[in-house]
Chains A and B, each alone.
Chain A
């Protein structure tokens, strides 16, 4: 049986994993390669490394971190942040990533999804969507959530899938960093609108939140960053609780 995935996200700044609330009050949480292997050993089904600064001067630092992480990680590995064109994606794949996540660049140029998928396969392209609840639906935001696009998140998810995306990484900006639970309404609406897997993100705080996003939200995978650092929540323990609640997970792992 296909299991629901628990994905650990590492936010990286200047070559180090950092943790803060909404990218503020950043604290050092360690070396990306060490964090990634530790999470994988602890039961994470997948690792996402997100370059949260993603300035051009940092590309070498990012690629070095990707290379070092990939060398000792034998689980699916996604890298996002600052990928603006096919060449950026190719460099990240060359360094050892299995998938790339694109956000603002895909909104600006949806054909980029197809260009990367055409060369590396749809399974390698994750389109990340940051959405916020507005009157009458959910709106897409870009540039780290700072810029409203006026676009409807459900329509954009459908278009991204049609362009060749392999998965949607859907973040609720209303819930992100709050640990108050995933936005199951948003997740379910998107998950039922597209035929590709949807990864829910934003709001994870407890095992119950994960049960709800899989059951009510129909998510295929759920991602969290903050609760997996500093041993605040043990992934193996989380998966045991999900298993006990009847959610199919890779357990024991």
Chain B
């Protein structure tokens, strides 16, 4: 069973709908014990980094870290991926999980913000999540802050600078784009997560 973590930020319908479409066994939950009991964790999110403060308030932070360190497959999407880093300039008082090093930063002023639309992926070899995804495939983004390039990066995006489009380390996966909004490419990525 995949637990989609509900911490009151934004709308989780589209992620649930995509996993339902793939026939996955899914529960949307805000309960720490349900998160701990799940086989896989999906942390969605869109909007402001400060909304992640709700994870701490609901006791979900510990549950998420416990599940991640227990080796359960964990996918962070958009803000959910940014949470896997140390934090974000968008809201310095909320701490990320620190699983990946560095902080999320704003795009340079040379480009419009937010970064909205379909952008291509520069995929690196060896990713389990992006297995079978063609080089330069297009995925849909909507965000104003981005994660830094790190050694765990499995795909890069380009928008005024290079940023981490996908990261992966062991059982921990993160994507800055929205696979649930990225057509067949996105569904294939979610299917990989279901099967990992």
Residues on A lying within 8 angstroms of B by beta carbon are: 1-5, 40, 45, 70-72, 74-76, 93-94, 96, 98, 120-124, 166-167, 195-197, 220-221, 250, 253
> A120 to B118, Cβ gap below 8 A?
no
Find the B residue at minimum CB distance from A90. B11
> A197 to B18, Cβ gap below 8 A?
no
Q: How many angstroms from the CA of A167 to the CA of B13 in the assembled complex?
A: 22
Chain B residues near A2 (CB-CB < 8 A): 115, 117-119, 159
> B118 to A45, Cβ gap below 8 A?
yes
Q: How many angstroms from the CA of A166 to the CA of B142 in the assembled complex?
A: 9
> A75 to B47, Cβ gap below 8 A?
no
A123-B46, A195-B113 known; A70-B14 Cβ under 8 A: yes
Chain B residues near A122 (CB-CB < 8 A): 47, 114, 144
B55-63, B80-88, B176-184: which lies at the interface: B176-184
Query: CB of B143 within 8 A of chain A?
Result: yes
Q: How many angstroms from the CA of A45 to the CA of B178 in the assembled complex?
A: 13
A75-B181, A121-B48 known; A70-B117 Cβ under 8 A: no
> A96 to B119, Cβ gap below 8 A?
no
> B142 to A1, Cβ gap below 8 A?
no
Query: CB of B120 within 8 A of chain A?
Result: yes
Q: How many angstroms from the CA of A220 to the CA of B11 in the assembled complex?
A: 25
Chain A residues near B144 (CB-CB < 8 A): 122
Find the A residue at minimum CB distance from B109. A195
Extra contacts besides A76-B140, A197-B116, A220-B112 (4): CB < 8 Å: A1-B158, A74-B183, A121-B46, A123-B114
Shortest B146–chain A CB gap in Å is 13
- Chain B CB within 10 Å, residue with most, of A1, A72, A167, A195: A1
Shortest A97–chain B CB gap in Å is 8
Number of B residues with CB within 8 Å of any CB on chain A: 33
A123-B47, A197-B116, A220-B112 known; A93-B183 Cβ under 8 A: no
Q: How many angstroms from the CA of A250 to the CA of B142 in the assembled complex?
A: 16
A75-B181, A253-B138 known; A220-B10 Cβ under 8 A: no
Residues on B lying within 8 angstroms of A by beta carbon are: 10-11, 13-14, 17-18, 21, 46-48, 112-120, 138, 140, 142-144, 158-159, 180-184, 186-187
| Binding site secondary structure of chain B | mixed
Smallest CB-CB A-B distances: 4 pairs: A121-B47, A123-B142, A250-B118, A250-B138
Shortest B193–chain A CB gap in Å is 15
Q: How many angstroms from the CA of A195 to the CA of B116 in the assembled complex?
A: 12
> A120 to B13, Cβ gap below 8 A?
no
> A167 to B119, Cβ gap below 8 A?
no
Q: How many angstroms from the CA of A76 to the CA of B114 in the assembled complex?
A: 15
Which of A1, A75, A197 lies in contact with B140, CB distance below 8 A?
A75
> B119 to A123, Cβ gap below 8 A?
no
Chain A residues near B17 (CB-CB < 8 A): 70-71, 96
> A74 to B181, Cβ gap below 8 A?
yes
> A74 to B118, Cβ gap below 8 A?
no
> B119 to A1, Cβ gap below 8 A?
yes
Which of A45, A72, A94, A121 lies in contact with B117, CB distance below 8 A?
A45
A3-B118, A5-B118 known; A196-B112 Cβ under 8 A: yes
Which of A5, A75, A195, A197 lies in contact with B183, CB distance below 8 A?
A75
Shortest B45–chain A CB gap in Å is 9
Q: How many angstroms from the CA of A221 to the CA of B116 in the assembled complex?
A: 10
Chain A residues near B11 (CB-CB < 8 A): 93-94, 98, 120, 124
